[in-house]
Structure 1
Amino acid sequence: MGGLLYNFHQNLDFSVNAGTSFRLPTAIELGANGIHHGSFRHEQGNPDLNSEKGFVIDTKLNYSKNSFNASVSPYLYYFKNYIFLNPSGEFSILPHAGQIYKFTQTSALLSGVEISLNKTFAEKWKTLFSFEYLYTKQINKDRSKNFPLPFTPPINGYAEIGYEFLKRSKTFNNAEFFSNVTFAFRQERIAQNEEITPGYSLLGGGFRTRVNMNGFKTTINLQATNIFNIKYYNHTSFYRALKIPEMGRNIQLMIKIPFK
């Protein structure tokens, strides 16, 4: 593994890392044959699996000036014999097991990019945005079998805007109201025998602050997620196969008190 960091100037830098990877197949990947009760599926190992070997390169371009920060991180992984759990389309004879998921291996490509932006306006308004995209592909001699890898996360992102107030208060520090949205695109780049997962957008928000009263310090965070109680599925969740949606409307009050 090797890396390089280059500073173009005080606000802009670029880094790159490249290397190889090696992994022996685990005992489960080699010999499992039965229902995995944590993932609710019949998993079947393969004793003929070879060691996993791959090549990796990841880069990052980072820009920072005053109250603005941005970073872009593309990456690329190539494996000669990637080990993964593949939905076979064959149904298990075991009760309530569904289809058999078989550990298999093939050449594979995984590539993507992560983007992050944050900016403060007028010293009070804070904004944050993050975005992730992952592209996967099985590489076989028979090109008709070059499906995406199973359980590939969809394009997803997160955006938040917050307003700071009570800046002159001695009791309340970093008091902020905030609102956010979490989103994921429809995932239709799926492996054979996988199901398409619809996209979703979830609205959240809340209030957070640090409190200092006569030496007593605490942090208060009141937040709500999925405010409109949207029914949605996570493409990579174990519960997806059982048609169990993710958490609905959720309201949390967290109070953190440090003890010396």
Structure 2
Amino acid sequence: MEGALSILPAGLLNIRPYFARLLPAQPCFLCGESSPDGLLCAACTRDLPHHAGPCCAVCAAPLPTGEVCGRCLRHPPAFTRTVAAFRYEFPLDSLIKALKFDERLILVNFLADALAGKVTEYPDFLLALPLHPARLRERAFNQSQLLAARLAHTLRLPLLNHAALRVRDTPPQSSLPWRARKRNMRKAFSLSPDIDVQDKHIAIVDDVMTTGASIDVLAGLLKKAGAREVSAWVVARTLPHRGKV
């Protein structure tokens, strides 16, 4: 009897692919075609704009030399490096918009796992870019917090919850000119008084980086609180406007 039971799990594993073939494949999230292997079909997965090739060592903007871009040299941000999984282009932008504005939370794991696959250096803590309470009530969730929670689980890293607050309800960054975005974020964040980041490396998690102004301001507060290093982890990096790097 004991011998028969010992082979049962292996037997179940052997027949699982058979039953999987009998079930209808789920539709691809992007194109609607059959997707037997996951959220996206093979063709749409190949079309995703992965962030690859030479880029700025600090902000991850595409750069032929792969060193530090002129913008980061002229105005060094408080964060020291950026990890980005994708470029913010079609069709990836459709996935992020669906998560943020259509509450398609099924995308959280897919996007966070893609970002986790790009990580080569592990921080002491993860910290999600916070939303203002009014925006959080309106949206009912913070996509950056969900992404950070998945990353913390996947990479087995501690997540700082309630360590940073959005204290000023600023206009959306996407509605502002490039140069106005950092001014918009001044005094937008505060840190919990009992946060202890002394000599720690913190990775700030967000969905999209455009100018990096939001992460820069929060990173500055963390550095003032004693953090040794702050990194930016983003699902997608927008391509800079011509002449703005």
Is the TM value for this pair above 0.5?
A: no
Q: Higher strand share goes to which structure?
A: 1
Higher relative contact order (CA 8 A, sep 6+): 2
Q: TM-score of the superposition, structure 2-length normalised?
A: 0.26
Provide the TM-score with structure 1 as the length reference: 0.25
Task: Give 1 or 2 for the bigger CA radius of gyration.
Answer: 1
Greater helix content: 2
